[in-house]
Homo-oligomer: A and B are copies of this chain.
Amino acid sequence: MLPEKEQQRIIEQPEQLIEAIQQLVVRGAPAIGVAAAYGLCLAIRGCKDIDTVRSRFREALPALRSARPTAVNLQHMVDRMADLESSAECEHLDGAALKERLLSEARAIDEQDQQCCQAIGESGASLIADGATVLTHCNAGALATAGTGTALSVLYEAWKQGKRFQVLAGETRPLLQGSRLTAWELHKNGIPVEVICDGAAGSFFYNGEIDVVITGSDRVAANGDAANKIGTYTIASLAKAHQVPFYIAAPSTSFDLSIASGDEIPIEQRSADEIWSPTSQQQPPEGIGHRNPAFDVTPASHIAGWITEVGILHPPFEEIRR
């Protein structure tokens, strides 16, 4: 509903959370991961005996884990909760104690994401020069995380350090997270922002008006290839052609070192209605097709650095190998 209306939705059942994730009420790779951890706690709320707690918890895992395919945080956080539940630490707990332990883990995930955001901001702030124009895409801000964001946290931290700069926000069709969320968030925090249509990015690069690009990422492969919102690769390709540095900002929880390259990242295909909706309340005209991949992959060759909570990294990411 942003930017016209700010509304909070209270979610009480894991099914409601899955729907909220699929409808992008909760979106942004880190925010989805945190929400999923809490979603598992919702699944066992009200359960008393240990067998019911364990069975309800395990039943909830698959649907939450696969609510959306591209961002890996969702899988990582569901796996972290699942590993805890089946760990030696939890083996002899009764129902109440296990529920308490799982909730404390979800809270730790939440807290750690907030700390990650702050640390990502501190890692990347030096990349923003005073007077720079920064291009970003989609929303990798507070509305995408439990904290202050990933790409936008870098901007918030640089601004806090006294640097003054301006942001071009790609509107990010089809769902306009750039114009609806990023512009709203930056303006609320006092950072000058102008919205551009996605296709216009080329002309701003051509005119030398963009100094640096920072976006988030939903999944980074072992070789550095990074999936992010559709349109990111177009910008990265333009940045490379115009020798403008392009950075990814993401917590280590968005890195999937189990896959060799971006070729292995599943790309969610979404409904044609998302493309068609701005022009009409009606269905797309009959006979006209639509292609609506929700993400694209930017190859490592186009990325100047991977801004994480432990610094600006490069493949093979030894600093975060678990």
Chain A interface (Cβ < 8 Å from any Cβ of B): 3-4, 137, 168, 170-174, 176, 179-180, 183-184, 187, 192-206, 230-238, 240-241, 272, 275-276, 278-280, 282, 284-285, 287-293, 296-297
Contacts and interface: CB of A to CB of B under 8 A. Distances in A.
A237 B241 contact: yes
Contact of A206 (B205, B233, B285, B290): B233
Given A199-B173, A280-B4, A288 B183 contact: yes
Contacts of A231: 197-200, 202
Contacts of A173: 171, 173, 197-199
Contacts of A194: 288-291
B288 A233 contact: no
Contacts of A193: 288-289
Contacts of A291: 168, 194-196, 200, 204
B230 A197 contact: yes
Nearest to A168: B291
Contacts of A288: 3, 179, 183-184, 187, 193-195
Most B C-beta atoms less than 10 A away, residue of A199, A236, A293, A297? A199
Nearest to A289: B194
A191 to B, nearest CB: 11
A4 B203 contact: no
Given A3-B285, A4-B280, A173-B173, A202 B296 contact: yes
Given A241-B240, A275-B179, A199 B202 contact: no
9 contacts: A179-B276, A184-B288, A197-B292, A199-B234, A203-B233, A206-B233, A206-B297, A237-B241, A278-B278
B241 A187 contact: no
Given A195-B276, A196-B290, A198-B234, 20 more contacts: A4-B282, A179-B276, A184-B288, A187-B287, A187-B288, A194-B290, A195-B284, A195-B291, A198-B231, A199-B199, A199-B231, A199-B234, A201-B234, A202-B231, A202-B237, A206-B296, A234-B234, A237-B238, A238-B238, A278-B278
A166 to B, nearest CB: 9
A278 B275 contact: no
A202 to B, nearest CB: 3
B203 A275 contact: no
Contacts of A280: 4
Contacts of A237: 202, 205, 237-238, 241
A114 to B, nearest CB: 26
B176 A199 contact: no
A285 B233 contact: no
Contacts of A230: 197, 199-200, 203
Contacts of A199: 137, 170, 172-173, 198-199, 230-232, 234-235
